[in-house]
Every structure is written in C-alpha cells, then in structure tokens.
Amino acid sequence: MRQICNSGQCFRMELLENGNYKVIAGDKYLEVEQKGEDCTFFCQEADFDSFWETYFDLDRDYASCISKIAAEDVYLMKAARFGSGIRILKQDLWEMIVSFLISQQNNIVRIRRCIANICEKYGDEKRDIHGNVYYGFPKAEVLAKLEEDALKPCNLGYRSKYVVRTARSIVNGEVNLEALGSMKYEEAKAELLKLFGVGVKVADCICLFALHQMEAFPVDTHIRQALEANYAKGFPMDQYQGMQGIMQQYIFYYELEGKKEQENT
C-alpha cells in the first residue's frame, strides 16, 4: 500500500497514525490494513466486489508482467523490484481529469492539498466508518457554475481556469465521459486533448489511471530523464505491449523514491 500511496497516481490516499491507509475515491471511503503481503479491507463485502476489487486491479498478475522484463535490462529490473507492490488503480474519470490538470508544474504534496481544498469546499459531506466527516469529489456540474478564478483560493493558481473550463466542456457535452470509456487508447487520448489545459502527458495519465489503458506511457521530467539516461535508442515499447503503463509506473516510482532511498543509505 505504501508504494501505491507514493506512486503519484492517486492523491486521496494517506497513511493513518495507526499504520493503516485510508482511501477516498469519488464518494467512497475505505481503510486498508497491511501485514506483510496480506491486506484487510474494512468495507462491506458487496462494496469490495462491486468497486474496490476493480479499483485496485486485483485480478491482474503483476508478477507475470515483471517476469517479462528482459534480463539484460538491469535498470528496469531494479525499478520493477523496487516498486513491485504497485498496482495501476482504476479511478474515476472525472476525478482523474481534475487531478492531473492540477498536477501540472506541481508536486505530490501540493496536489493532495489542492484536491483536499476543493473537496472540502465543493464536495458533498460524508461520514466514514468511524462517523468522522470526509468530503466526496465535487461534481462537474458544481464546478462548471464557478467563475474561472474561483478555485484560486484553493491554491490552484492558474490551473483554476483549466478545471472550470473543462467542467463546462463536460457539462455542455463537448466531451462525453461515458463515450470515452468505450474508446480505444489513441481515440480517447485525442478526445481528452480537446479539453482546455490537457496536454499529452496529462491525457496519458488520464488514459492510464482512469481508463486503464495500459499502453499509455506518460512522460514527465522524471521519466524523460530516466529514458535519456538508460534508453539511448528509446524505451522498447513493443516488448511490453499491453503493459507499457505498468513499466512506466515502476520507472516513475524508482526515480521518485528509489534514488531518495539510495541517498539515505
């Protein structure tokens, strides 16, 4: 769970004081306890079957993906071993669009704070399993009614207009979220690029973390530097057909956390 939490794909998952993790996805709340490789999900069995099992991509054999890494690719093997607990979450499409619009030129700590702010101000109030208040993710219809700069007090800065204009595009039917779910990767990516503020990297993140299109391979500064240092001829995409995004996450997490860990040892 720690690896998933710190992998940069979700921003409403956090470590609690008791060592468990809490996850808020859309309007849903979950706590997870991990002991070794065993995880206990504190939720109704029906919720686990209908939502969380898919959310955590529990039916996919990630060990099999790692086993397909070429033995001579020492860097990728090291990255995959370091991040072997990561799973690609299947998250809400609207939430991912907003999250990755906010992520531009931003760091994970600030992104989490921005999202917490807009949820507290514009999301529906809910109660968790302990009776404590948490907030659902604000609906597009709510954010579409705002002035373009209305989210600046939530620390979004210039990204405020990205989110508000995108919400309007979705509410007005310029981009149909339901239709996106049935599109193939290239088609979905092209459709997402129509949204104000969505560039190639953001579109790829949405395709990977919401639409679960594993051929998406988002390239940010961390990934670009890793590719330049380790793949002079380019990353061997063809070798990892249907799992490129999984390999991207191993590389991203290793660059973000693995190097840091090496520096501290």
Beta-carbon contacts of residue 26 (< 8 Å; ≥ 6 apart): 92, 95, 136, 137
User: Span 97-104, mean pLDDT?
Assistant: 95
What is the number of other CB atoms lying within 10 angstroms of the CB of residue 151? 26
Which tens digit of pLDDT belongs to each residue from 182-199? 999 999 999 999 999 999
Give the model's pLDDT for residue 63.
Answer: 95
Per-residue model confidence (pLDDT) at position 90: 97
The pLDDT of residue 228 is: 96
Residue 196: CB atoms within 10 A of its CB come to: 15
C-beta separation of 138 from 123 below 8 A: yes
Cα Rg, the chain, nearest whole Å: 18
* Residue pLDDT, tens place only, 200-222: 999 999 999 999 999 999 999 99
Among 32-36, 59-63, 138-142, 258-262, where is mean pLDDT lowest? 258-262
For residue 264, the model assigns a pLDDT of 54
Question: 260 falls in which pLDDT band (50, 70, 90)?
Answer: low
- pLDDT, position 262: 56
pLDDT tens profile 56-95: 999 999 999 999 999 999 999 999 999 999 999 999 999 9
* Among the listed residues 263, 198, 257, 203, the one whose alpha carbon sits nearest the alpha carbon of residue 78: 257
| Average pLDDT of the residues of the chain | 94
Share of the chain above pLDDT 70, in %: 97
Length of the chain: 265
Can you count the helices (H) and strands (E) in the chain?
15, 6
Rounded to 10°, the helix 200-209/93-102 angle is 140
As a whole number of angstroms, the distance between CA 203 and CA 162 comes to 14
Active site residues: 201
CA 21, 127, 115 angle in degrees (round to 5)? 60
pLDDT in tens, 235-254: 999 999 999 999 999 999 99
Q: What is the pLDDT of residues 166-187, one digit of tens each?
A: 999 999 999 999 999 999 999 9
Nearest to 118 by CA among 75, 164, 82: 164
pLDDT of residue 231: 95
- In the predicted structure, residue 259 carries a pLDDT above the cut 90: no
- Tell me, what's the pLDDT at 106? 85
Residue 258 has what pLDDT?
Answer: 80
